[in-house]
């Protein structure tokens, strides 16, 4: 397990702004601990930050990447399609209230959070680092990837099997179609081949149902 609080404290040092009060971190932990979540939890944050230091040399603004990772799933409701926008709103409100962050840097964080919608290719730079880290789960070891797929299904328990199969198949095929799936060589080497194996295995399982 990573020390999420240590990463939280350091990201504001990297941004060279005031540290927010403890309630900001406590609120974030509470959000990622909501009972309707199964994958988008503190476990997901922990896995993201387990890669953060390795990927740090790729980042122009590590503080921007760190705040983005902390907030990219802060709002998560599978009945909505604007979770990333709401998460970005929450991040901006916190930064504006406590940190006096520049408008330019706040906008960078917003753009990076929105990049985790995965509907378009991220812009080069820190957005790519965020997206590569967020998608590292696709290249996890098979047992962890299978657990991830089970967790995602739990978050969509209200969706019928047929509808879930259709929607999930579409999403996974969109990932398979990306060439390459990861942008940074660091992530390509570690995750690309295994991610494609995992995705194809999951698609076969979905199609066999």
Contact 123, 115 (CB under 8 A): yes
This prediction's pTM? 0.96
Residue 1 has pLDDT above 70, yes or no: no
Task: Give the closest residue to 180 by CA, choosing from 171, 162, 161, 193.
Answer: 193
Q: Which domains does the chain have, with CATH numbers?
A: 4-207 (1.10.3210)
Region 142-148 average pLDDT: 98
pLDDT tens profile 91-100: 999 999 999 9
If you search the block for the tokens 């509907």, which residue do you land on? 119
| pLDDT in the model for residue 209 | 73
- Backbone CA torsion sign across 177, 183, 185, 188: negative
Burial, 28: exposed, middle or buried (Cβ in 10 Å; 0-12, 13-18, 19+)? buried
Region 92-113 average pLDDT: 96
pLDDT tens profile 38-53: 999 999 999 999 999 9
């Amino acid at each position: 397990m990573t020390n999420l609080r240590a990463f939280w404290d350091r990201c504001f040092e990297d941004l060279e702004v005031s540290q927010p009060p403890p309630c900001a971190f406590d609120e974030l932990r509470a959000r990622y601990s909501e009972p309707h979540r199964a994958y988008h939890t503190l476990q997901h944050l922990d896995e993201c930050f387990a890669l953060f230091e390795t990927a740090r040399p790729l980042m122009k603004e590590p503080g921007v990447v760190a705040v983005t990772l902390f907030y990219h799933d802060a709002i998560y409701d599978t009945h909505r399609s604007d979770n990333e926008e709401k998460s970005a709103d929450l991040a901006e409100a916190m930064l504006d209230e406590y940190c006096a962050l520049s408008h330019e840097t706040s906008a960078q964080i917003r753009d990076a959070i929105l990049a985790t919608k995965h509907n378009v290719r991220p812009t080069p730079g820190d957005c790519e680092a965020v997206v590569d880290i967020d998608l590292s789960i696709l290249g996890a070891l098979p047992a962890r990837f299978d657990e991830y797929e089970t967790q995602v299904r739990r978050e969509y328990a209200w969706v019928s099997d047929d509808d879930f199969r259709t929607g999930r198949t579409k999403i996974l095929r969109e990932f398979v179609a990306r060439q390459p799936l990861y942008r940074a060589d660091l992530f390509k080497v570690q995750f690309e081949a295994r991610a494609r194996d995992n995705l194809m295995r999951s698609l076969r399982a979905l199609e066999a149902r």
